[in-house]
Structure 1
Amino acid sequence: MLFSDEAVLGATNAGQGLMVLGFALLLTHYFRLYRRPYLRFWSYAAVWFGCSSAVKLVINASHDWLTLPSFVVSGLETTSLALMYVALGLLAIGVFDITVNRIPERRARWRIYFGCLVIALFTSTELGPVGDPLTWQPFFKDASLYLISAITLGIIGGVILAQSTPTMGPRLIASAFLLQAIKNVFLVSLLLLDSTWLSSQLVWVITGIVNVVFLTSAMLGITIWLLEAERHRAVDAIQKAEYVNTHDALTGIENRDELMTKLPVFIDSCRGDGRELVLFMLGVDRFKAINDTMGLRGGDRVLVELSQRLQNLQTRPVSVARISGDVFVVIYDHVRGREDISNLGYDLQRIIQKPMLIDGKTMNITCSIGVSRFPQQGSRAEGLLSKANIALANAKLPESPSVVFYRDGMDDQYIKLVDMEPELRKALLRNEFVVHLQPIFDVRTQYLSGFEALLRWQHPIKGMLNPDSFLPFVEQLGLSSEVDDWVLRHCAKLISRWRAQGEKVLPIAVNLSARHFQQPELTDKLRRLFREYQLKAGDLELEITENVAMSDITTGMNVLNRLRDMGIRVAIDDFGTGYSSLAYLRKLPVDKIKIDRSFINELMASKEDSTIVRTLIELSHVLNKQIVAEGVETAEQFAMLSEMHCDSVQGFYFSPPVNEEKSRGILQKFWREFLHLSNAKGNDSGAAPGPNTLKA
């Protein structure tokens, strides 16, 4: 025989040990590169397998040229066995990470290690018949090792084959583990038949070859697997990037870019078979107020809920997209006729405006819709979208219907709006706005009781502009809060200046927009303003329209109660033009009701209007609310209102809106006449009456 059995076995163990340690280095490198935990545990397993082979090499040397005591050899055999079992446990931990994408907890891992050591100690203990351990013990130890490793490696191979992607890398690794398991089953079979066969060089060579094939296949399989995983991640990243580029990140529906890509295709399809393409552009009304009330996350949830409703419409659209903050586009290609399109638009509106539960709160939102059509409004995608946007802007106007079709000439209004925005922003920065004050008089005494602030714009080119020529644009451009802030601060400065100049000021009423009234920070803002200019609670009064108060009754009631707690008086302006009911009027914590001028204009000519005004005055007095009539222009109107016991009036019959200098003159004249009348009646108290003493 050319080589001794010990030499062949030693060379086999040495070769396997070097290959396993090389495999451990490769796995460590891959772990540092890819950060997958199973690579780390498998590299530990390879190290322990290599160490076990090294210990076996020492044991074989002790049989040939290295003399070691028997208890040392026994300890080395137990150590080699323990290292083998721990390596199997580490392989199992790595497979757990592959299966569930996480490693077991530290306590569970230590239990696995402890179990491996117990098995190693148990199988290396002398368990054979008394007096004959040398025959039984090697068989039990080797059979246990081969059987346990065969089961473990077979399970590992099966799990990898079942759980991983059906590609070359995982299949190669699974095949390597299954081959090793089959080899160990074969060795167990040889042990059961004749244990002496395991000592033959042929078996050593075959097992060595199988081990080398196993290590080579495992290394190649892991390399391929990792490269495939990297390629899949790159493909997934590309697909995700494409999805992000074409879909809205918040709602998951198509974004503007994807819509503009598909729209020409839809147009060509409709052109081919003579169908109409209809674009509905939906915009949530006062969405900023929703964000201010619910917070940004609450606003996001509203948008997600809206997108889900649009995706689940019973009449299926060809496309649903979110093109900006609160604006969605819904496209249909099977609707014909203006009436059917209008009905569909109102159906969409009803679905959108159904109450929704957000963070435990019931939200009632409204929306406006702009409509454009192919071929009526052209064949360019950008043009159809632009015209739907123009129609939407018109739908948001106060006097417009909530669903508006684009029509010729709307572009001019939209262009005017676009041109107006920079001018309005400059007007705010340059203080081009002017406040005129219209006096309000007590009906019974005809005493001056306060003023209403009315905004004008001193345009550098166009001259003095009335509010009707620019306030609608302010509302559409979302500048209402900024303009309201400017007016409030200006009036606060004016009152503070008049008081510093020795004037006895009367309240100034300021109109608030819907956007501003629904801001949660309104009361805090007013507190800071009153503190900065040292105002009294009654110096400023706030006016809101009935629609503003009733659009969100819960928010409206909360704001009104906070204002009342501050001592600030609130009036409902333009009453009778909105949709509130007298039942709600009883609940609103307001101090005054201002009858719209449209009723006063018809007071003498319309019996119905005079009856409405009389009834409203009587009801308001029952509810302990004061009535102010706007737009009183004739003595007859004033006489009738006086006979109806109206509390206060304002209008051209008494005074038009005047500038601050004339307003101060009116204020000074009133106090002079009031003091003169008081002195004539023998009033020597010298105390100036407050506003409350001037009312009926």
Structure 2
Amino acid sequence: MPQLDLMTSLAIETFAHSIQAVFLLGFAALLMYYHKYYQRDYLGYWAFACFAFGPGEIIRAFLAGSAMVVPESALSWSSGLQGIALTCQYLAISFIALGASCAAFNKKPQNYWQYIAYGVSLVGGIISYFWLDPTISDAGNTPNAGFMRFLVTGVALVAISLLMWRKLGSGIGPKLVSGGFFSIGFKNLIVLSVIFSLPGNAVDWALSFQALLNIIIIAAIIVGIIIWLLESERNTAVRAIQRAEYLHTHDALTGVSNRDQLVSKIPLFIEYCRSNNRQLTIMLVGVSRFKVVNENIGIRGGDQVLKEIARRLQNFRKQPLAVSRISGDVFALAFDHLKSRSLIKDLAAELQDTLSNPIEVGDKTLNIAAGIGIARYPQHGSRSEVLLNKATIALTQAKQSHQPSVTVYERGMDEMYSYLVDMEPILRRAMQENEFTLYLQPQFDFDHQQLCGFEALIRWQHPKRGLLSPAEFLPYIEQLGLSTELDDWVLNNAAAILASWKQKFGLCWPIAVNLSAPQFQHFQLIEKMQQLLEDYEISPEWLELEITENVAMSDLHNGMSVIQRLREMGFGISIDDFGTGHSSLAYLRSLPINKIKIDRSFVSELQQNNNDVTILKAMIRLSHGLGKRVIAEGIETQEQQDMLQKLGCDMMQGYFYSPPMRLQFAEQFIERQIQGDKKPLPPGEFATAF
């Protein structure tokens, strides 16, 4: 091997370090651009590493170049500059390690690791300043300098490369980058071994050309990073396509198949059933009052409920052929070979029981109820959409009652469903154009023999058919889910009437409003009533809220909380149609109500049925014992009034006294009361506080 003189060595070093510095700074700028475009944190760390490496190489090029011109001058301050170069080198290795960790574990390291990196780099630079001997050439490096420069970086880069090789998969780009880091680290360890083991001439050649080898390896790393980014973009695109294909056939929230997927599967199920002489059953499961669930526990809580429902359906005892979510709170299940209708209904009832088990959402426990609509092949159709439509019609029927049921599609349901669909825009228009009107039926107090309030009864002034009674439109309102909107209309109009009476008469007689089930099952009613009091400047005791017995019992937990809060606000609460439901005495005792209204069916049979007399007597005594007043509705004869008065009934209402009347006639009635010096009874007189 030819002898390498000092000047040639310095020239090679100057050139190699200069090219490497330019190369590294250009690479840093490229990495920063990629970091901004691709938003990969490891690219930012590696850009900082190149920015740190670059100045170190500039310093080494400057030292070598200065030594060629004025060796003595360069020698006097070479230790300090070499210490700064090593500090930059350690900082660059630290950034490489942070970037490798970010890429390997797919998360950004904590900030304190950066501070540790800065500290280690600074300590390394300080140690090197006091430990290195002054030198103007790599060829003149001492073992101490080799240890500080090559051993530390060599071991660190080998460790980093092994971590990346193990964690970053089989892509060509990551392998090329980790291989590049390994090559530089391994090269540094070889250079270190040369310094300690080979003669000076070989050391001179190795140290002079190792920087040129760095340039080649860095170029390979640049290519590797570019390939890595292209592979990453391609993989991201592939995953996006796969995700899109998955979402095209599956529900994103619950993971079960969606409606399109079910529609495409049903023909396959039908063909299988046809060829094997089997039957296909489609069950649609609809959660009752799911909107209330969302309002009580929030949208995220509602999502958790839907996920739990999907899980229970997928793990149902009899494994379905398919489970799908076909709309917000409606799931579909397909079963084969359920022959008898009784078997189908038993299975559906078991499914209802499974879904009714408590669901834990955070610190809340929910109980849900579900209606089930059923359609079958071949009885109800042989096409996907036909079967799903029939099951939808049956589900609509199943969810009409307060307690959702199991309904199998029957002929004739289509007509009712079609009529219902046609009625929806008509009813909405009626509410928007104020075609509904309130009639007021007086209520009288037995003891004081005077008016004590009114009940608001809604009528529809149809533009073509004239005045319609509630029986002609309320069933459609309930089935279409418009009950809450109609209740809001009634409450606002009742409050407006009370506000006008306050201004006109200076007095107000209470108005009772019958509310539907959905209103009493969520806390939004409390906010509505509070807003009503503020908007119309009325007192809460002027507005009485009625709820049917079955509604009160259907969701006792939520309902009782809402009623209790309303009572605390000062509203009167009464149970309507009492005696027709199935409430127990324990529930009646705990319900925060102040009035019980006896259903007219008991009153109408008073003179013919002694059993009704006995029952009424017991109910009145029970109500009084619980501190609640009793009002009887549907009184039509003098005999009925006398019997009820004898039984101890507190209040009365019916055609015997007055039919429901328009507002103008109700106001005339009030004027006669005022002229007779009869004022509204104090709240304590007609509503015993709970």
CA distances 1:71-92 after superposition (whole Å, capped 9, x unpaired): 1234344444443333333322
CA distances 1:246-288 after superposition (whole Å, capped 9, x unpaired): 4434434333344334444433443343333322222222233
CA contact (8 A) 2:452 2:680 kept: no
For residue 153 of structure 1, report the CA deviation from its aligned partner. 1.7
Structure 1 partner of 2:159: 155
CA distances 1:385-415 after superposition (whole Å, capped 9, x unpaired): 2222211111122388611111111111111
1:98 aligns to 2:103 (yes or no): yes
- C-alpha separation in 2, matches of 1:102 and 1:236: 19
Structure 2 partner of 1:614: 617
Structure 1 partner of 2:228: 225
CA contact (8 A) 2:282 2:335 kept: yes
- C-alpha separation in 2, matches of 1:526 and 1:28: 59
Structure 1 partner of 2:565: 562
SS at match of 2:410: coil
For residue 475 of structure 1, report the CA deviation from its aligned partner. 1.4
Structure 2 partner of 1:352: 355
CA contact (8 A) 2:507 2:680 kept: no
Structure 1 partner of 2:478: 475
For residue 634 of structure 1, report the CA deviation from its aligned partner. 4.5
CA distances 1:359-408 after superposition (whole Å, capped 9, x unpaired): 42332332222112222221222222222221111112238861111111
- C-alpha separation in 1, matches of 2:679 and 2:39: 83
1:83 aligns to 2:88 (yes or no): yes
Q: Structure 1 residues 173, 511: CA separation in 2 closer, same or farther (over 3 Å shift)?
A: same
Given candidates 16, 27, 31, the residue that maps to 2:31 is: 27
Structure 2 partner of 1:309: 312
1:384 aligns to 2:384 (yes or no): no
1:325 aligns to 2:325 (yes or no): no
SS at match of 2:181: helix
For residue 16 of structure 1, report the CA deviation from its aligned partner. 4.0
For residue 612 of structure 1, report the CA deviation from its aligned partner. 1.9
Within 5 A, what are the aligned runs for 1:396-545?
396-398=399-401, 402-443=405-446, 447-497=450-500, 502=505, 506-530=509-533, 533=536, 535-545=538-548
- C-alpha separation in 2, matches of 1:15 and 1:506: 97
- Write the letter of the residue equivalent to 1:353: S
Q: Structure 1 residues 448, 174: CA separation in 2 closer, same or farther (over 3 Å shift)?
A: closer
Q: Structure 1 residues 568, 56: CA separation in 2 closer, same or farther (over 3 Å shift)?
A: closer
SS at match of 2:194: helix
Q: Structure 1 residues 548, 61: CA separation in 2 closer, same or farther (over 3 Å shift)?
A: same
Structure 2 partner of 1:45: 49
Q: Structure 1 residues 451, 116: CA separation in 2 closer, same or farther (over 3 Å shift)?
A: closer
Q: Structure 1 residues 400, 216: CA separation in 2 closer, same or farther (over 3 Å shift)?
A: closer
- C-alpha separation in 2, matches of 1:135 and 1:419: 95
Structure 2 partner of 1:115: 120
CA distances 1:646-688 after superposition (whole Å, capped 9, x unpaired): 333333444443444554555566777xx4xxxxxxxxxx565
1:177 aligns to 2:177 (yes or no): no
- Shifted more, 87-96 versus 557-566: the winner is 557-566
- C-alpha separation in 2, matches of 1:157 and 1:604: 99
Within 5 A, what are the aligned runs for 1:69-80?
69=73, 70-80=75-85
- C-alpha separation in 2, matches of 1:540 and 1:45: 74
SS at match of 2:513: strand
For residue 503 of structure 1, report the CA deviation from its aligned partner. 9.5
1:593 aligns to 2:596 (yes or no): yes
Structure 2 partner of 1:266: 269
CA distances 1:488-510 after superposition (whole Å, capped 9, x unpaired): 33334445555666597643322
- C-alpha separation in 2, matches of 1:20 and 1:487: 77
- C-alpha separation in 2, matches of 1:113 and 1:12: 27
Structure 2 partner of 1:679: none
Given candidates 630, 637, 645, the residue that maps to 1:627 is: 630
For residue 316 of structure 1, report the CA deviation from its aligned partner. 2.4
- C-alpha separation in 2, matches of 1:184 and 1:499: 95
- C-alpha separation in 2, matches of 1:445 and 1:63: 120
Structure 2 partner of 1:690: 681
Q: Structure 1 residues 530, 77: CA separation in 2 closer, same or farther (over 3 Å shift)?
A: closer
- Shifted more, 173-182 versus 520-529: the winner is 520-529
- Write the letter of the residue equivalent to 1:33: Y
Q: Structure 1 residues 334, 71: CA separation in 2 closer, same or farther (over 3 Å shift)?
A: farther
Q: Structure 1 residues 76, 475: CA separation in 2 closer, same or farther (over 3 Å shift)?
A: same
For residue 357 of structure 1, report the CA deviation from its aligned partner. 3.1
Q: Structure 1 residues 227, 637: CA separation in 2 closer, same or farther (over 3 Å shift)?
A: same
- C-alpha separation in 1, matches of 2:139 and 2:451: 123
Instruction: Normalising by structure 2, report the TM-score.
Output: 0.88
Given candidates 225, 240, 249, the residue that maps to 2:243 is: 240
For residue 583 of structure 1, report the CA deviation from its aligned partner. 1.5
CA contact (8 A) 2:139 2:208 kept: no
Percent identical across equivalent pairs? 41
SS at match of 2:91: helix
- C-alpha separation in 1, matches of 2:507 and 2:32: 86
Q: Structure 1 residues 191, 694: CA separation in 2 closer, same or farther (over 3 Å shift)?
A: closer
- C-alpha separation in 1, matches of 2:227 and 2:261: 37
- C-alpha separation in 1, matches of 2:48 and 2:679: 94
**What root-mean-square deviation, in Å, do the aligned CA atoms of Structure 1 and Structure 2 show?**
3.4
- C-alpha separation in 1, matches of 2:320 and 2:468: 45
For residue 223 of structure 1, report the CA deviation from its aligned partner. 1.1
1:371 aligns to 2:348 (yes or no): no
Structure 1 partner of 2:556: 553
- C-alpha separation in 2, matches of 1:62 and 1:530: 90
Structure 2 partner of 1:603: 606
Q: Which runs of 5+ in 1 are unaligned?
A: 129-133, 676-685
SS at match of 2:426: helix
Q: Structure 1 residues 282, 568: CA separation in 2 closer, same or farther (over 3 Å shift)?
A: same
Structure 2 partner of 1:339: 342
Q: Structure 1 residues 474, 51: CA separation in 2 closer, same or farther (over 3 Å shift)?
A: same
For residue 627 of structure 1, report the CA deviation from its aligned partner. 2.0
Aligned length: 678
- C-alpha separation in 2, matches of 1:103 and 1:9: 37
CA contact (8 A) 1:280 1:329 kept: yes
Within 5 A, what are the aligned runs for 1:620-659?
620-659=623-662
CA distances 1:290-347 after superposition (whole Å, capped 9, x unpaired): 3333344443443333333333323322333333332222332353321221111111
Structure 2 partner of 1:140: 144
For residue 221 of structure 1, report the CA deviation from its aligned partner. 0.9
SS at match of 1:251: coil
Structure 2 partner of 1:583: 586
SS at match of 2:161: helix
For residue 117 of structure 1, report the CA deviation from its aligned partner. 4.3
- C-alpha separation in 1, matches of 2:446 and 2:423: 41
Q: Structure 1 residues 466, 458: CA separation in 2 closer, same or farther (over 3 Å shift)?
A: same
Given candidates 177, 190, 194, the residue that maps to 1:190 is: 194
CA contact (8 A) 1:283 1:326 kept: yes
- C-alpha separation in 2, matches of 1:34 and 1:665: 78
Q: Structure 1 residues 365, 118: CA separation in 2 closer, same or farther (over 3 Å shift)?
A: closer
